[in-house]
Structure 1
Amino acid sequence: MVKRIFFLFWGVFLFALGIVLTVQSNLGTAPWDVMHLGVTNYLPFTMGQISQITGVLVIAISWLLGVKPGWGSLANMYFIGLFIDIIMAGGWVPVFDNWMARLGLLLAGIWIIGWASYFYLSAAFGAGPRDSLMVGVIKKTDWPVWKIRTIIETLVAVIGYFLGGPIGIGTIIIAFTLGPSIQWAFSIMGKRAQDIEHDPLFYWRKPVTESDTD
């Protein structure tokens, strides 16, 4: 249990760091972050606080759709937002004018998020708020995972774009490389990423056993 808790919090910290790296690259961010940053143009909150507020709303909707939040959902919702604000306020990640340096920040962020996913999912405390929403919609519609994920992420990206969020080449790069980054982290550690990252229903289909979390 101690190991799992460490994995959970180390994972959410790495998530926040990876997100900040992609944001500071100024090349475009992941769809949900496009929306979070877009909302900050209209409300007096930080990106981390908007992420937390969004997480609360998403958890509530997911619960109404029949997916109860787990400890992992709550930790994801609160601590990723908190760590984002701490990292950004502390100026931990510089902003570069050089295009290659900015691309390096983006790729480093994607790589770190891959490892964040390994630690967070290996803790096996349940899916994050946004994956829980996906699962809830899947339960109600019986549509395939890829279709639901595409619809949700396209919708939030479009909303973020019209709110002034940063869509760019980085958004496209993230879309094509984040999955392989997560898969690579799991393969390095000898785990089966295909059971988790590509299947948000993992926690509902396969009970967690000792061998899954060792």
Structure 2
Amino acid sequence: MALRLVQLLVGLILFGAGCGIMVRAGIGLDPWTVFAQGLALQTGIGIGWITNIVGFLVLLLWIPLRQRPGIGTVANILLVGTSMQATIAVVPHVDGFVWDLLMFVGGMLLVAVASGLYIGADFGPGPRDGLMTGLNSRFGWRIWAARLGVEASVLVAGWLLGGTVGLGTVIFALCIGPLVHVALPPFDRRRRRAARVAETVQPV
């Protein structure tokens, strides 16, 4: 349990740091961060704090969807935006497209590894992922359709509010799925437990 908690906390902090680095790159963001950035520009509240607030508001949508949060869900709301805000405060922006691209890719890779860590700890989904699974279980929407509909909506809303949509948005959309697919297995404690159980019941 202690190791899983450490894995969860490290994963969430690194996830926020990766998002903060991508914000600093300035060449585009994932849909939810575009939305948070747009709200931050309109309200004057830091994008990290907005990320925490949006996470809490999304969690409220779980109530009619009959979803139950886990420790990981609550920790996600508290830590990701806080880590993002701290990272933005200490990481400077360096002018030049090549540096911006390298910074964005580095942030995205950090997000992928961090996703493997916190998902693999198996303490419950983040508020946004839980929204997708809730739409699936409550209304029968396919996961991909729920994700596409929700993320397209927040992307457009964030763009209209002034959030950054660009090359990075496209790179993230194309690459984050395969990267998390590679990053998750080494940290997936549930899969490793199942493998150990399977080994103990092998016939002699």
TM-score of the superposed pair, with normalisation by structure 1 = 0.86
Counterpart code for 1:211: R
Match of 1:44 in 2: 44
- Which protein has the bigger helix share? 2
Between the aligned partners of 1:98 and 1:87, the Cα distance in structure 2 is 20
Match of 2:128 in 1: 130
Moved more, 72-81 or 140-149: 140-149
For structure 2, list consecutive stretches of 5 or more residues without a partner in the other structure. Answer: 197-204
Counterpart code for 2:43: L
Do the aligned partners of 2:116 and 2:183 also contact (CA within 8 Å) in 1?
yes
Match of 2:201 in 1: none
Do the aligned partners of 1:63 and 1:69 also contact (CA within 8 Å) in 2?
no
The Cα RMSD (Å) is: 1.9
Three-state SS of the structure 2 residue aligned to 1:156 is helix
Question: Looking at CA atoms only, which structure, 1 or 2, has the larger radius of gyration?
Answer: 2
Match of 2:60 in 1: 60
Counterpart code for 2:139: T
Between the aligned partners of 1:72 and 1:26, the Cα distance in structure 2 is 29
Match of 1:117 in 2: 115
Match of 2:169 in 1: 171
After TM superposition, give the deviation of residue 86 of structure 1 in Å: 1.6
Between the aligned partners of 1:167 and 1:209, the Cα distance in structure 2 is 36
Identical-pair percentage: 33
The number of residues matched between the two structures is 196
After TM superposition, give the deviation of residue 85 of structure 1 in Å: 1.5
Match of 1:75 in 2: 75
Do the aligned partners of 1:122 and 1:213 also contact (CA within 8 Å) in 2?
no
Three-state SS of the structure 2 residue aligned to 1:181 is helix
Do the aligned partners of 1:4 and 1:213 also contact (CA within 8 Å) in 2?
no
After superposition, the C-alpha distances for 1:97-120 in whole angstroms (9 at most, x for unaligned) are: 111111101111111111101110
For structure 1, list consecutive stretches of 5 or more residues without a partner in the other structure. Answer: 193-207
TM-aligned CA distance change 1:29 to 1:212, over 3 Å: farther
Between the aligned partners of 2:55 and 2:149, the Cα distance in structure 1 is 18
Between the aligned partners of 1:105 and 1:68, the Cα distance in structure 2 is 36
Counterpart code for 1:130: R
